[in-house]
């Protein structure tokens, strides 16, 4: 869950440009989370960039009903922005998607985020572009090879968390997988990172895929690596950590590193996420408890193929009711139904390879105590590490809330990198 699953409101945000040409940018705020986006408004063609999602060049259509107004249509995400010029350097308007509306303000230009850890050439290691397949899925990736790389060099395949991600696991212009791969290569450890199916340069069905499908994608990468390396591991973040555990339970990997991996069930995790977020937003405890019970019952119903309980009759704030309806709709997809049933506790006794698990104390997406505790109980031989003060993305932070991700310049805590490196070298 590298991308925040905040109250199930998974909205691709968009910000738009002014009734003039040029580059315009701003932040769409969704439940406290800032999503910076950029519109490039040109006379003949216009486009949208979403730097936080690693998405650029999304086509948009621009109309100008009056001299001082603009309408931007983003057909690919079923969204629309209507704005009015308020000054030479400001556009104010409303972004609408799926029946929900948000105010947007745009200013000229694009604010560049500071990401000092992002690797910059020249590099003291080699890279290769590779391709591998899982059925109809074609995965494209980057193999990073340290100096003096041989068949005996340890190698890890890197598995992203939930949501479509590129090979760098890019979010808010942070590239944590690139940072990790760079650090490992400098220490003599090879890696393979790849674009998720249906994203970036990779192809594949994303409508009917589940975590099992993504696990099999990673397994295809493992099989590719075994043609060249004796010792193949997996390093996975969030859902990727869960996938690493699944592969270990199947005996497909020689060692694994779980970064904020989910060990308890998907259902428990999603309910906890919702509870934490509503509490953070200051909602009444009784309402939060009522919502979480309703949400839990809805998950059970969807998994069992039954009708979900109605929100009618529950004295809940409108935002909770809206969130519940969104959640119910999303649970119609195979991926989310299957995700809710995941429970690594049932598989831990099958794992025999070395396991390193790191979780941050300020993670608001995967509860560190419950998940590391479950891992210690079911797999006592695993090395578990509590990373004090780190969020879900392994950044030093204040609250751990998703809206901080973009504001933090650090991409990945150095002490976490060092822990990974030292552990791999000693196993």
- Per domain, the residue ranges of the chain are 22-108, 125-265+342-426, 266-338
- pLDDT grade, residue 5 (50/70/90)? very low
- pLDDT grade, residue 16 (50/70/90)? very low
Q: In what order do the strands lie in the sheet with 232-237?
A: 125-134, 137-146, 190-194, 155-159, 232-237, 255-259, 355-360, 383-387
- pLDDT score recorded for residue 253: 98
User: Average pLDDT of the chain?
Assistant: 91
User: Omega into 274 within 30° of 0, i.e. cis?
Assistant: no
- pLDDT grade, residue 2 (50/70/90)? very low
Tens digits of residue pLDDT in 379-420: 999 999 999 999 999 999 999 988 788 889 999 999 999 999
Could you tell me which residue, 423 or 1, shows the higher pLDDT?
Answer: 423
Tens digits of residue pLDDT in 297-311: 999 999 999 999 999
> What Rg value do the Cα atoms of the chain yield, rounded?
22
d(CA 37, CA 56): 10
Tens digits of residue pLDDT in 264-282: 999 999 999 999 999 988 9
**Residue 424 phi, psi dihedral angles, 5° rounding:** -60, -40
Q: Which H or E run contains 73?
A: strand 69-74
**Equal fold, 22-108 vs 125-265+342-426:** no
Q: Per residue in 37-60, is it b (16+ CB within 10 Å) or e — as a string?
A: bbbbbeeeebebbbbbbbbeebeb
Is 89's pLDDT higher than 50? yes
Q: Which CATH architecture has domain 22-108?
A: Beta Barrel (2.40)
DSSP 81-136: EEEEEEETTEEEEEEEETTEEEEEEEEES-PPPP-TTS--SS-SEEEEEEEEEETT
- pLDDT grade, residue 99 (50/70/90)? confident
The hierarchical CATH code for the domain 125-265+342-426 is: 3.40.50.1820
Q: Name the pairing type of β-strands 125-134 and 69-74.
A: unpaired
- pLDDT score recorded for residue 54: 63
- pLDDT score recorded for residue 13: 29
- Alpha-helix residue ranges (DSSP H) falling in 304-400: 318-330, 334-341, 368-378
Q: Is 150 helix (H, G, I), strand (E, B) or coil?
A: coil
d(CA 129, CA 141): 6
- pLDDT score recorded for residue 100: 80
Q: What pTM was computed for the model?
A: 0.83
CB atoms under 10 Å from CB of 417, counted, come to 18
Is 114's pLDDT higher than 50? yes
Is 4's pLDDT higher than 50? no
> How much is the average pLDDT of 97-123?
89
d(CA 416, CA 259): 9
Tens digits of residue pLDDT in 22-55: 898 888 887 666 778 788 988 888 998 877 666 7
Is 244's pLDDT higher than 80? yes
Q: Is 169 helix (H, G, I), strand (E, B) or coil?
A: coil
Whether the CB-CB separation of 355 and 256 falls below 8 Å is answered with yes
Tens digits of residue pLDDT in 308-358: 999 998 999 999 999 999 999 989 899 999 999 999 999 999 999 999 999
């Amino acid at each position: 869950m590298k991308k925040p699953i905040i109250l199930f409101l998974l909205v691709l945000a968009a910000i738009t440009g002014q009734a003039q040409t040029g580059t315009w940018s701003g932040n769409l705020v969704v439940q406290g989370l800032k999503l910076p986006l950029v519109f490039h408004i040109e006379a003949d063609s216009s486009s949208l960039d979403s730097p936080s999602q690693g998405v650029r060049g999304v086509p948009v259509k621009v109309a100008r009903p009056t001299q001082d107004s603009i309408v931007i249509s983003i057909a690919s995400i079923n969204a629309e922005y209507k704005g009015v010029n308020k000054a030479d350097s400001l556009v104010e308007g409303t972004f609408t998607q799926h029946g929900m509306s948000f105010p947007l303000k745009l200013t000229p230009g694009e604010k560049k985020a500071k990401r000092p850890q992002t690797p910059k050439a020249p590099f003291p290691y080699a890279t290769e572009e590779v391709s591998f397949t899982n059925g109809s899925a074609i995965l494209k990736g980057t193999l990073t090879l340290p100096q003096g790389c041989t068949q005996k060099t340890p190698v890890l395949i890197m598995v992203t968390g939930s949501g479509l991600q590129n090979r760098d696991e890019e979010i808010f212009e942070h590239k944590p997988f690139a940072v990790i791969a760079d650090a490992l290569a400098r220490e003599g450890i090879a890696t393979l990172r790849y674009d998720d199916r249906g994203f970036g340069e990779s192809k594949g069905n994303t409508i009917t895929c589940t975590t099992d499908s993504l696990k099999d994608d990673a397994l295809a990468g493992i099989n590719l690596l075994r043609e060249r390396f004796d010792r193949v591991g997996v390093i996975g973040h969030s859902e990727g950590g869960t996938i690493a555990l699944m592969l270990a339970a199947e005996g497909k990997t020689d060692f694994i590193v779980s970064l904020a991996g989910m060990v308890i069930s998907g259902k428990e995790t999603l309910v906890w996420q919702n509870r934490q977020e509503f509490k953070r937003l200051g909602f009444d405890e009784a309402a939060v408890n009522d919502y979480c019970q309703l949400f839990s019952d809805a998950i059970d119903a969807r998994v069992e193929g039954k009708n979900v309980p109605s929100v009618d009759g529950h004295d809940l704030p409108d935002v909770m009711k809206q969130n519940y309806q969104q959640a119910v709709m999303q649970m119609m997809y195979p991926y989310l139904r299957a995700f809710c049933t995941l429970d690594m506790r049932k598989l831990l006794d099958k794992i025999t390879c070395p396991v390193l698990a790191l979780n941050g104390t300020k993670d608001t997406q995967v509860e560190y105590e419950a998940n590391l505790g479950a891992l210690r109980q079911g797999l006592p031989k695993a090395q578990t590490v509590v990373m004090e003060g780190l969020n879900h993305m392994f950044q030093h932070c204040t609250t751990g809330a998703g809206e901080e991700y973009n504001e933090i310049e650090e991409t990945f805590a150095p002490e976490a990198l060092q822990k990974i490196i030292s552990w791999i070298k000693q196993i």
